[in-house]
């Protein structure tokens, strides 16, 4: 077996194995019955096994890390995730101003979620993909390469390798995002030497960017989280929420809200993401199952893939039935 103290040339073997797993993933995105997320989860399991196989001392380091200052590391991981999200929030806005391809590149990243259950994607990135990537890239590979090539050399090489495995997707914004993340988590691991800390940061950042506050839409603004998981029941209170009321006409470049309804609302429901902008110019079909407000029950029907029409919805309460029509023409 290889250990972290072996000659530098041997440290390239696990990196080559990881490249063989991830380069086809980003090039093809699907393989048989495996969609992008299941394929990525399978790769995550494979690289985790590879890390423990390649370094006999790795399991001991992980257990030691879990035993010491666990609460502080988790809190720092949460803070680090928030800092990185803020970096991407600014980078998202700035890049759209500087690069004409930025908006399309960011949208292509979110297209990877198309057809996949929000619950499944959230569980996979939060509990498997994010932590497993840190186990391999920072916990194993960066640790090994810093021992072989020095602190700065190992950090930069690992960050470069982490970004380059995304290159086959042909999306410069994805490669740039991976480079920023690799440098950030690599620096964090180099400074703190805690796999738990970077794993928490990675998992929470993934959930924030892909599930709760994605940078979707052509305007680049982060969307409200709305309602996110089946069974978890994400809860968010709105003072006055702008709801997609009346008719929505599909234009050549964006959806145009013809009539808008404002209502005090406490939204509670499952598996929903409600994208909208402040001026109502970015209303789109959303997967919304249920909501409740002011003692009146309001129900939406899920918009199935490929179906461009919402069914009409109804709120039933003391004031009697009130129709909230939705339609896409």
Which are the contacts of 326, defined by CB distance < 8 A and separation ≥ 6? 244, 247, 248, 300, 310, 311, 312, 313
pLDDT in tens, 30-49: 999 999 999 999 999 999 99
Q: What is the pLDDT of residue 78?
A: 98
pLDDT in tens, 116-164: 999 999 999 999 999 999 999 999 999 999 998 999 999 999 999 999 9
Q: What is the pLDDT of residue 221?
A: 54
Q: What is the pLDDT of residue 269?
A: 31
Q: What is the pLDDT of residue 170?
A: 96
The C-alpha atoms of residue 305 and residue 20 are separated, in whole angstroms, by: 33
Q: What is the pLDDT of residue 7?
A: 55
Name the nearest CA neighbour of 181 among 94, 88, 101.
Answer: 88
Name the nearest CA neighbour of 269 among 312, 296, 299.
Answer: 299
Q: What is the pLDDT of residue 2?
A: 43
Q: What is the pLDDT of residue 56?
A: 85
Kindly report the pTM of this predicted structure. 0.69
| Residue found under tokens 């009321």 | 245
CA distances from 62 to 12, 131, 138, 158 (A): 22, 12, 12, 19
Q: What is the pLDDT of residue 8?
A: 54
CA distances from 132 to 26, 135, 152, 212 (A): 17, 5, 23, 21
Quote the radius of gyration of the chain (alpha carbons, Å). Answer: 22
Which residue stretches of the chain have pLDDT < 50?
1-5, 218-220, 223-329
Give the distance from CA 307 to its chain's centroid: 25
């Amino acid at each position: 077996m290889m250990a972290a103290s072996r000659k530098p040339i041997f440290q390239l073997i696990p990196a080559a194995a990881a490249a063989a797993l991830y380069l086809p993933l980003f090039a093809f995105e699907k393989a048989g019955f495996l969609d992008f997320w299941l394929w990525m989860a399978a790769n995550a399991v494979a690289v985790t096994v590879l890390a423990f196989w390649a370094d006999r001392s790795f399991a001991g380091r992980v257990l030691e890390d879990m035993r010491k200052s666990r609460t502080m590391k988790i809190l720092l991981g949460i803070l680090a995730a928030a800092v990185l999200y803020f970096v991407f929030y600014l980078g998202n806005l700035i890049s759209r101003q500087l690069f004409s391809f930025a908006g399309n590149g960011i949208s292509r990243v979110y297209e990877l979620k198309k057809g996949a259950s929000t619950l499944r994607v959230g569980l996979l990135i939060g509990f498997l993909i994010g932590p497993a990537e840190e186990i391999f890239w920072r916990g194993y590979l960066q640790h090994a390469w810093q021992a072989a090539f020095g602190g700065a050399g190992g950090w930069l090489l690992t960050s470069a390798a982490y970004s380059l495995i995304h290159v086959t997707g042909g999306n410069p914004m994805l490669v740039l995002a991976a480079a920023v993340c690799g440098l950030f988590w690599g620096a964090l691991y180099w400074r703190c030497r805690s796999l738990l800390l970077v794993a928490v940061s990675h998992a929470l950042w993934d959930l924030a960017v892909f599930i709760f506050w994605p940078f979707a839409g052509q305007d680049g603004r982060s969307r409200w989280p709305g309602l996110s998981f089946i069974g978890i029941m994400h809860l968010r209170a709105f003072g006055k929420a702008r709801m997609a009321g009346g008719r929505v006409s599909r234009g050549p470049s964006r959806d145009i809200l013809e009539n808008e309804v404002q209502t005090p609302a406490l939204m509670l429901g499952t598996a929903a993401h409600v994208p909208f902008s402040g001026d109502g110019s970015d209303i789109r079909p959303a997967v919304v199952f249920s909501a409740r407000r002011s003692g009146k029950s309001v129900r939406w029907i899920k918009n199935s893939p490929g179906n461009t029409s919402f069914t009409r919805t109804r709120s039933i309460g003391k004031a009697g039935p009130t129709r909230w029509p939705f339609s896409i023409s």
